Amino acid sequence: MEREDAKKLFGKLAASYPNWKVDRDIAQNWIEELETADSEHAWANAKEHIRSSRFAPSIAEIVRANPEIEAEREKERTRQHLREMEERERNAVDPPWIRQGIDRKVWFDNVLKEHRERKQQEKKA
């Protein structure tokens, strides 16, 4: 999170809990910790905390991973993976036995037969 964003979030928390005794050192500590946090998680956690608790939060409650955001990110990673799989499938080349319209075993048998014939011809030459 950018420093200005961290200050803004801390200011929102301080304004939301007017009885919270905050001094310069506490503010500096919070801002330093918020700067290392994921902005989206921190803002979501702060909003949830403000709406659900009449007591000021701890730093840990704000900087932790937000389960709802993590779930959404995982859904998006899954969607992206599925899109990539579909794209690979569209661009995939059919195996030779399908292109030739024959059974896989028949194709492999033909390949082995051709290989054996080539070896025999090489021995004769």
Tokens at residue 84, please?
A: 């990539």
The per-residue DSSP string of 67-119 comes to: HHHHHHHHHHHHHHHHHHHHHHHHHPPPPHHHHTTS-HHHHHHHHHHHHHHHH
43 confidence band (pLDDT: 50, 70, 90): very high
- The percent of residues in the chain predicted with pLDDT above 70, rounded, is 100
Check pLDDT > 90 for residue 15. Answer: yes
**Spatial separation of the C-alpha atoms in residues 88 and 17, rounded to whole Å:** 53
Domain shared by 9 and 62, yes or no: yes
Mean pLDDT for the stretch of residues 5-30:
95
In a domain, 34, yes or no: yes
In a domain, 114, yes or no: yes
Min mean pLDDT across 56-60, 80-84, 86-90 is at: 86-90
Quote the domain boundaries for residue 114. 95-125
Domain shared by 59 and 112, yes or no: no
Whole-structure pTM value: 0.66
CA–CA distances in Å: residue 25 to residues 22, 32, 82: 8, 11, 48
Please report the pLDDT score of residue 18 as a whole number. 93
Please report the pLDDT score of residue 85 as a whole number. 95
Mean pLDDT for the stretch of residues 80-99:
92
Check pLDDT > 80 for residue 125. Answer: no
Tell which residue, 61, 66, 65, 57, has the closest CA to residue 14: 57
| Each residue's pLDDT tens digit, 56-66 | 999 999 999 99
Q: How many domains does the chain have?
A: 2
